[in-house]
A and B are shown apart, each in its own frame.
Chain A
Amino acid sequence: MRHGRRRFVAGFLALPLVMYAVLVLSPYAQAFYLALTDWRGVSARAEFVGLDNFARLLDDPQMWAGLRNNGLMLLVIPVVTILLALLLAALLTLGRSGRGVRGAGAYRVVYFFPQLLSVAVIGVLWQFVYTPNNGLLNGVLEAFGIAGRSWLADPALALWAVMAVVVWSSTGFYVVLFCAAMQSIPREILEAAHVDGAGRFTVFRTIVLPLVRENIQVAYIYLGIGALDGFALVQIMTVGPGGPDNATEVLGLGLYRNAFTYGQFGYASALGVVLFFLTLTLAVLVMRTSRRERIEVV
């Protein structure tokens, strides 16, 4: 009987596990191996070169530019997105009536709209917004008498312009996430605080924030991983792409360029391995901190 049940379970698990191995584990394993070769991606010839690719990475100005920009994105995007999403979620859920501002339901839907657009559409749309001579942004600014700028062609502004789009497109999702978390806070606790004379900000800081902390941490990991990528928007929107003069270069773009433009799949795989460990480190760090804080709270 037991044997039959095992076979039954195995029958269900075999296909998904094999697919996982073929489609997920095997490409990862291959990337790690290819990172140690000079594979060009156009034939089966690949010679083992040891850690040469990783040594070359250290001497690659584009890699450093990518690391710097991804680092800045990692600092800015999660913090700004989470703050904005928390603010909007609080406005939508935490009113004195307990229902948030009027029309909260409609706002929640509207905020979620960018999430429904593909990244490519978002990139193209914002490219039109930013375009200097007849773009929406410069048009609005000029209506107020402010001189327009070449947003995506100015090294001092380009990365910020891209980050604004990332924040714009991801905030809505986290508004919905935080709204759900805030709605699950027992009303009695909030009411009790009000009765005790706590102002809105105090309630938010001392009650709401600690109770949605875990959601914030999840959001941080997701946004952090997203900030380490950024490839699609940069590829579609920026000058070069990755420019002007590497101002918006990201690691993912360098990986793509080395593989598909320069025909250096081995080197690109090495970049991929570095990116893999960066992402992994970020996730582990955030989870470690979250565990410690939970102990403190309890």
Chain B
Amino acid sequence: MPSNIPALSSQPVPSRRDLLRGAAALAALVPFTAACATAGSGSPASGTSAAPVGRITKDNPLGVVSSEPLEVVVFKGGYGDEYAKFAGGLYRKRHPQAQIKHAGLQNVGQAMQPRLVAGDPPDVIDNTGAGRLDLAALIADGQLTDLTPLLDAPSAHDPAVRVRDTLLPGVVDSGVFDGKPYVLNFVYAVWGVWYSSSLFAKHGWTYPATWAEMLTLCEEIKKTGIAPWTYQGKYPEYLNDPLLTMAAKAGGMEMVTAIDHLEPGAWRHDAVREALEAYAELAGRGYIMKGSEALSHTEAQTAWCQGKAAFIPCGSWLESEQASVTPEGFDMVVAATPRLTGGDKMSAATILASASESFFVPTRAGNPAGGLEYLRWLLARESAAKFAELNAALPAVKGAVDGLTVSSGLTSINTMVEAAGTDTYNWRFRGWYAPLAKVVDDSTGELVTGRIDAKQWVDRVQKAADKVAGDDSVKKYRR
């Protein structure tokens, strides 16, 4: 039970009782109580048990009461909110009596936090963008609905196939916490190393398959006066994506799992150290554009688009993010991170894949069945194709771009995803243990500026991981 704030009863001037008797003062006390952060928990009666349940039929696999209103809140960022409204339109075709309220916000976290605390959230939230709410915290407090019924329901475009089987590899896993799917990430994101295919064609360069080839190519690129690499120095996590992917491909899934499970000494794996040494060498040989460590993502990516550097690490959103500054004929493409050696445990095509735009259904929503049903329509191939068409990005649904004419970047993403097949992986520690992720990012920033070496990096990160592992107040997760 929420405890009332002790200070609640103490008024600024308690001796002036007559003052308090004023009706205005009493009326004003109502918001005073409501304003207490933890006081609005509501009665136990406001739980999920009160939610309306409809009859489950073939056409209504989630038991939606068609007349119930539905409220959908999405992040209106780089991908806009047209696609979300489109999915709402499909929902209304099936449930014509439903009133749907759409909201596209830039600060979803800030706006939704008080409603979640008060127990009055909308039916679907796309928890994305700066200031998004911590998913691990939401789940630990029982705020999110288990999405298993949705994933096991027949998909909207093909009733013979379950929703979970229409999704790209890694999508379901990216929303699993403690073995249960709580979050549906709608936009498929893959990471790799980007370059301009026209620049490479002009110089006759080919994308390297191993790190040794990468270093040879970098030497050649450097001779032309172009910096071989740049990165988004202000946010070193961008560089961690290819670095840790190289380690993961060499060390295999066992190593990834051990690291995510905070096992003692997991970061001391040889593959981690070798990948660190590889990137330290990149910096040591002067292959990273001067000043990169102080550039924001915009500055670094723009310098890369201007041809000042040949490679930049980034996720699949890069092409749309850079659309306004990319010169004609630049033809950016992305490729899988090179292998450390030929003896890697994962295949050469393996990519770091995850999904973003984190949709969930709050447990205290007024119409949780409607929320799940909305997500089912969002995952219909029609909605997914609409999304791809509007945003030149890959949604989490298989085959969404089939038959669409797409840009060089999205084509290369699609090729990379198809080549990888089920060979995708993702780190979970970033979402589960954010303070550990910060240490990893800070340390990589120090590594590539030569202020620490690979051994010091490992020592720092292992120490931070051990600290999280030993902290009882941090909830632990398993893959």
Interface residues of A (CB under 8 A from B): 6, 10-11, 13-15, 17-22, 25-26, 29-30, 32-34, 37-46, 48-49, 52, 56, 127, 130-133, 150-153, 155, 238-241, 243-246, 257, 260-265
Question: Given A22-B28, A22-B31, A244-B449, 14 more contacts at CB 8 Å?
Answer: A10-B18, A20-B12, A22-B32, A25-B7, A25-B12, A26-B36, A34-B37, A34-B38, A40-B134, A42-B113, A44-B38, A238-B234, A239-B236, A239-B294
- In the bound complex, residues from chain A placing their C-beta under 8 Å from that of B5 are 26, 29-30, 33
* B435 interface contact, C-beta 8 A: yes
Contact yes or no, B32 A33, CB < 8 A: no
Interface size on B, residues (CB 8 A): 67
CB distance from A269 to the nearest CB of B (A): 9
User: Are A26 and B35 also in contact (CB < 8 A) when A43-B141, A152-B294 are?
Assistant: yes
- In the bound complex, residues from chain A placing their C-beta under 8 Å from that of B438 are 257
Instruction: Please tell me which one of the listed residues B25, B131, B140 contacts residue A40 in the complex, with CB atoms under 8 A apart.
Output: B140
Contact yes or no, B435 A45, CB < 8 A: no
Contact yes or no, B141 A45, CB < 8 A: yes
C-alpha gap A171/B479 in the complex (Å): 54
C-alpha gap A155/B117 in the complex (Å): 40
Chain A, residue nearest B31 (CB): A22
User: Are A15 and B24 also in contact (CB < 8 A) when A26-B36, A42-B116 are?
Assistant: yes
Contact yes or no, A245 B446, CB < 8 A: yes
C-alpha gap A239/B451 in the complex (Å): 15
- In the bound complex, residues from chain A placing their C-beta under 8 Å from that of B6 are 29, 33
* B277 interface contact, C-beta 8 A: no
C-alpha gap A175/B141 in the complex (Å): 52
* B421 interface contact, C-beta 8 A: no
CB distance from B210 to the nearest CB of A (A): 30
Contact yes or no, A21 B142, CB < 8 A: no
Within residues 107 to 141 of chain B, which ones have a CB less than 8 A from any CB in chain A? 109, 113, 116-119, 131, 133-134, 136-138, 140-141
* B213 interface contact, C-beta 8 A: no
Contact yes or no, B37 A30, CB < 8 A: yes
- In the bound complex, residues from chain A placing their C-beta under 8 Å from that of B28 are 14-15, 18-19, 22
C-alpha gap A46/B39 in the complex (Å): 10
* B89 interface contact, C-beta 8 A: no
Instruction: Please tell me which one of the listed residues B134, B233, B235, B291 contacts residue A42 in the complex, with CB atoms under 8 A apart.
Output: B134
User: Are A243 and B294 also in contact (CB < 8 A) when A21-B32, A261-B134, A262-B435 are?
Assistant: no
Contact yes or no, A244 B32, CB < 8 A: no
Instruction: Please tell me which one of the listed residues A43, A49, A127, A262 contacts residue B116 in the complex, with CB atoms under 8 A apart.
Output: A43
Contact yes or no, B134 A263, CB < 8 A: yes
C-alpha gap A49/B235 in the complex (Å): 34
- In the bound complex, residues from chain B placing their C-beta under 8 Å from that of A34 are 37-38
- In the bound complex, residues from chain B placing their C-beta under 8 Å from that of A265 are 37
C-alpha gap A22/B19 in the complex (Å): 16
C-alpha gap A32/B7 in the complex (Å): 10
- In the bound complex, residues from chain A placing their C-beta under 8 Å from that of B473 are 38, 49, 52, 56
Instruction: Please tell me which one of the listed residues B2, B134, B442, B449 contacts residue A240 in the complex, with CB atoms under 8 A apart.
Output: B442
CB distance from B10 to the nearest CB of A (A): 8
Instruction: Please tell me which one of the listed residues B24, B136, B445 contacts residue A263 in the complex, with CB atoms under 8 A apart.
Output: B136
Q: Which of A14, A22, A43: most chain B Cβ within 10 A?
A: A43
Contact yes or no, A42 B133, CB < 8 A: yes
* B346 interface contact, C-beta 8 A: no
Contact yes or no, B293 A245, CB < 8 A: no
C-alpha gap A45/B32 in the complex (Å): 19
- In the bound complex, residues from chain B placing their C-beta under 8 Å from that of A33 are 5-7
* B3 interface contact, C-beta 8 A: yes
Contact yes or no, B294 A131, CB < 8 A: yes
User: Are A150 and B137 also in contact (CB < 8 A) when A44-B119, A240-B234, A243-B442 are?
Assistant: no
- In the bound complex, residues from chain A placing their C-beta under 8 Å from that of B131 are 260
Contact yes or no, A239 B293, CB < 8 A: yes
C-alpha gap A44/B399 in the complex (Å): 42
Contact yes or no, B134 A29, CB < 8 A: no
C-alpha gap A15/B5 in the complex (Å): 22
User: Are A10 and B22 also in contact (CB < 8 A) when A18-B32, A150-B291 are?
Assistant: yes
User: Are A244 and B25 also in contact (CB < 8 A) when A41-B117, A133-B290 are?
Assistant: no
Q: Give per-residue flags for B1-34: 1 if the beta carbon is below 8 A from chain A beta carbons, else 0.
A: 0110111101111001011001011001101100
C-alpha gap A127/B294 in the complex (Å): 10
Instruction: Please tell me which one of the listed residues B41, B109, B291 contacts residue A43 in the complex, with CB atoms under 8 A apart.
Output: B41
* B299 interface contact, C-beta 8 A: yes
- In the bound complex, residues from chain A placing their C-beta under 8 Å from that of B35 are 22, 26
- In the bound complex, residues from chain B placing their C-beta under 8 Å from that of A45 are 2, 38, 41, 141-142
Contact yes or no, B24 A133, CB < 8 A: no
C-alpha gap A38/B8 in the complex (Å): 20
C-alpha gap A244/B22 in the complex (Å): 56
CB distance from B7 to the nearest CB of A (A): 3
CB distance from B302 to the nearest CB of A (A): 11
Contact yes or no, B434 A239, CB < 8 A: no
- In the bound complex, residues from chain B placing their C-beta under 8 Å from that of A264 are 137
CB distance from A206 to the nearest CB of B (A): 46
Instruction: Please tell me which one of the listed residues A20, A127, A155, A262 contacts residue B134 in the complex, with CB atoms under 8 A apart.
Output: A262
